[in-house]
């Protein structure tokens, strides 16, 4: 149980970093100073979707385990 508690604390701390990465991705996409190709924009969007989906899956599974 101790390990799970420590893991959940770490997960909460990591959530800020995930949010920062997603925010930076959005800023990159919105920047007029950087001329991204359509392919690059699509790749950034796809990587952000993958990151968000995996993060939510990890968070959800962790919460499920915590309630066991």
pTM listed for this prediction? 0.80
How many CB atoms sit inside 10 A of residue 27's CB? 10
- Domain assignments of the chain as residue spans, ordered by start: 1-17+36-68
Q: pLDDT tens digit string along 13-48?
A: 889 999 999 999 999 999 999 999 999 999 999 999
Q: How far apart are CA 67 and CA 47, in angstroms?
A: 30
First to last CA, the chain: 10
Is residue 63 scored above 90 in pLDDT? no
């Amino acid at each position: 149980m101790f390990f799970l508690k420590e893991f959940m604390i770490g997960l909460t701390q990591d959530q800020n970093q995930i949010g920062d990465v997603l925010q930076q991705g959005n800023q990159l996409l919105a920047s007029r100073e950087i001329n991204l190709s359509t392919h690059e924009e699509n790749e950034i969007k796809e990587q952000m979707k993958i990151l968000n989906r995996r993060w939510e899956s990890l968070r959800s599974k962790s919460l499920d385990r915590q309630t066991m």
